[in-house]
Structure 1
Amino acid sequence: MSMTNFISIFPLGIVVYPGEQLNLHIFEPRYKQLVTSCLAENKPFGIPTVINNKIMEYGTTVQIKKVEKLYRNGEMDIVTEGEKVFRILEHVKQVPGKLYGGAIVNYPENEGNVHARLQREVLQGIRELHTILQIHKSFKKDDNLLLSYDLAHHAGLSLDEEYELLQLLYEAQRLEYLKRHLHKVIPMMAEMERLKERVRLNGHFKNLSAGDLGTGEV
């Protein structure tokens, strides 16, 4: 049985995963109020994903780890950490007496068993992708401790794809999803790089000798 509770929500056009550190600049009055009340009660808040201006059903609760900076006008820079995936059962546009909204949510069972072989394949694929794109990323954990959630933002997924992954509640499913995605994009990216190389070489003076031109009679 997954428990049901009421949480304050801060809908954003991003996907947050459990364990992820998310830094936010809070400037809207309603979210200044939300953060202030979560700090006072030491409560998490929920970030449901917004896609095409629509609040989606799934999101992740985040706990405020610290207020990095408090501005004179009440704006804040906060450091939060993703906790668990929730599903919205009922959306409350405005919490009574507050400026912000909330939701009645439950927390689907979320299985995180280790799948070492699959995880290594995904990590290798991500590193291959980064090499092609000439990006250097280092992770904050040892390779063997990295979960699908730690890797997902580094695999070049679109927002829709990141959201699809959020709805997968087994670690093996999430890793398979990333593996399929990488198998699809790596060849495309490698081809793009070759294409760029060919375009770059065009327009340079080619060092041709008469021997290269062939001696066929015209």
Structure 2
Amino acid sequence: MTNFIPIFPLAVVVYPGEVMHLHIFEPRYKQLIRECQESGKPFGIPSVLSDKLQDMGTLVEVAEIVQEYQNGELDIRARGLKVFRVLEVIKKIPEKLYSGAIVSYPDNNVDMGNRMLMQKVVHGVKELHRMLNVSKDFRKSEEELRSYDVAHHAGLSLEEEYEVLGLMEELQRQEYIRRHLEKVLPMLMEMEQLKEKVKLNGHFRNLSAFDLDIDV
């Protein structure tokens, strides 16, 4: 299936099911959000990497206009719906300030994937947060968590988050994040050990001498 959607390109990756907060200040996007909110229609957020519009993005809906300012700016809550692929960008739309795109929606497997693998991923993410002294409430039980729920919290770069967006199987996404954590966690462990060594430097330490029974 293909259709036309208004687009709001951003240097972010949005996942299906994700709720994000946006401050809308540009006239073209104030118009876009107003029209989508009034009509109940969604819009697309295609990712921008290195100042270049990418092929993949996520269809989102305006969940709530949180605040309206006197100058017309808006704070909104948007919710990710499904992944799309840009087929053609329409830069100029009659009587509109914003651009649009013709998009298709690839088949995306959002089942539970491999639960044992997902448990390893969740454990790895929690260990990452422990090392970084970060607290995160996923507002779901571990059994309900999927790759999209944890991808933003696994220490991925924007480019890596975008690669996850392009994976259309839950099992592939889980495996991608697991491999990433396998690389990152040992490095953080070394950093923790180094930090402890640095803390000891310059301090008096109570060390027992090693008793050598040496014949002279």
User: Over aligned residue pairs, what C-alpha RMSD do you find?
Assistant: 1.8
What displacement does 1:41 show?
A: 1.3
Alignment partner of 1:182 is 2:181: yes
131-140 or 25-34, larger mean C-alpha shift: 131-140
Counterpart Cα distance in 1 of 2:12 and 2:142: 25
Residue 140 of structure 2 aligns with which residue?
Answer: 141
Q: Deviations over 1:163-215 (max 9, x none)?
A: 00000000000000011001110101111111111112212234568x57x9x
3-state SS in 1 of match to 2:167: coil
Q: TM-score, normalised by structure 1?
A: 0.93
Name stretches of at least 5 consecutive residues in structure 2 with no aligned partner.
none
3-state SS in 2 of match to 1:40: helix
3-state SS in 1 of match to 2:117: helix
- Structure 1 segment 5-16 matched on structure 2, within 5 A: 5-16=3-14
Distance 1:208 1:173, change over 3 A: closer
- Structure 1 segment 65-214 matched on structure 2, within 5 A: 65-114=63-112, 115-207=114-206
Q: Deviations over 1:106-144 (max 9, x none)?
A: 000001221211111111111111111121212111111
Counterpart Cα distance in 1 of 2:99 and 2:193: 49
Partner amino acid, structure 2, of 1:186: L
Partner amino acid, structure 1, of 2:31: Q
Q: TM-score, normalised by structure 2?
A: 0.93
Runs (4+) of structure 1 exceeding 2 A deviation are 203-209
Identity %: 56
152-161 or 114-123, larger mean C-alpha shift: 114-123
Q: Deviations over 1:72-93 (max 9, x none)?
A: 1100000110000000000112
Q: 1:47 aligns with which of 45, 48, 53?
A: 45
Counterpart Cα distance in 2 of 1:39 and 1:74: 14
What displacement does 1:100 show?
A: 0.8
Count matched residues.
213
